[in-house]
Amino acid sequence: MMLEFLAAVNEAGCAGYSPRRPDCVLMEVMNQLDQLKQYTTVVADTGNFRQLAQFAPRDATTNPSLILKAVQQPEYGPLLKETVTAHKGQPLEEIVDHVLVRFGREILAVVPGRVSTEVDARLSFDTAATVARARRIMALYEDAGIARERVLIKIAATWEGIQAARILEHEGIRCNLTLLFAFCQAVACGEAGVQLISPFVGRIYDWYKKAAGPAWDEAANAGANDPGVKSVAQIYTYYKKFGIATEVMGASFRNTGQILALAGCDLLTISPELLAQLQGTDAPVTRALDPAAAAKAPVHAVTYHEASFRWALNEDAMATEKLAEGIRAFAADAAKLDRMIEGL
C-alpha cells in the first residue's frame, strides 16, 4: 500500500515535501537491491563475514572455496589459528568442521537468518558418511548455543547426497542441496523433503556459452532466455504448481541481469561484488517469477527412482559435466584447506 501511495504522489507531480503542499512527501529512490528484497529473500554468498552488514542479507551461504578464500586473507588468519590451536590433537576432519562452524557462527552474528555450511565434497557419493558428518557439524553448532533452525547443511545433489538429506530432514536437520543443474535433481530433492535447493545459474550459462562457441549470441541468451535462468524458472514453476515446500534459491550468478530475471524466486544467493552493483543503481526492478502464475502453468508431475534418476542425469550432458566438475573443484579446495590447517 505504501509503494502504491508513493507512486500516486509522484504521478501527481510532487517533487518533495513542502509545508504548503501537505499532500506531497519526500521521495526516496530505492536501489535495485532494496527493490529486489520486496520480491525475494536476498542471501549473501561469501565466507567474508566482515562484508555482510553493508548489504543486510537475511541469510548467508558458504562453501569450501569461499572459506578457503576467506582464510587466506590476513584479517582472518588469527581466527583460523585460534580455532585450530584450540582443537590440536583432534583428527583433521574434526578440526576442519570446527573451522567451518566457527566461520558460520561469526556469520550468524551478523545475519538474522540462516547460514549454510557444507559437508566435505569428497563424501558426495557416500550417504552414511555424509549423514555422520552433517550430524557432527550440527552438534558443534548446538554446543555453541546455535539453534538448528539457523543452520542449513549443504550437500551435493548426487543421488547419495539426496538420500542423506532425506534421512537428515527426518531428524530435523535442514539441508541445502547444492551443485544442482538438472531438473531430475530438483524433483528428487522435492520428493525427499529437502528444505532448500541451490540451482547454479551461472555455471549452466557457462556451459552453454562454451558449447556454442562463436555461434553464441549474448543478447539472444540474456534475461529470461538465459539457459541458467530458464532452468531455475522451470524448477520454481514445477514446485509452485504441485505445492512442493522445498525452497528454491538461485545461485552462482555471472551478472545482475541473471539476478533480476529471477526476481520473485524464493531466495537468491549473491556474491558481494554483485550485491554492490545492485546497491549502486536505482533502475526499476519488476517481478519475474510469481507463484500464482506458476500454479496455472501446463506442466505434468514426474517422479524418479534411483535408476531413472541416474539415467535422466546421464542424458543431460551439461548437468553431468558440471556436477562432476563442481564436486572435483570443491574437493580440491577442501584438500587445500586441510593442508593449510596441518601447516599451523
CA 191, 197, 203, 208 torsion-angle sign: positive
- Find cell 542449513 and name the residue: 152
Distances (CA, A) of 123 to 67, 120, 252, 286: 18, 6, 22, 40
CB 256 within 8 A of CB 35: no
Dist. CA 199–CA 204, nearest whole Å: 9
Secondary structure E strands in 26-166 = 41-45, 59-61, 115-118, 151-156
From the candidates 37, 69, 81, 154, give the one annotated as an active-site residue.
154
- The three cell numbers locating residue 142: 548446538
Give the C-alpha distances (Å, rounded to integers) separating 263 from 163, 196, 256, 257: 30, 17, 11, 10
Distance of alpha carbon 111 from alpha carbon 108, whole angstroms:
5
Q: Which phi and psi angles does 76 have, rounded to 5°? A: -100, -5
Q: Please give the Cα distance from 149 to 295 (Å, whole number).
A: 28
Quick check: 189 and 153 in contact, CB under 8 A?
no
Q: Does the annotation mark 154 as catalytic?
A: yes
The SS3 assignment for 173 reads coil
DSSP string across 178-218: EEE-SHHHHHHHHHTT-SEEEEBHHHHHHHHHHHHGGG--T
Q: Which residues are catalytic?
A: 154
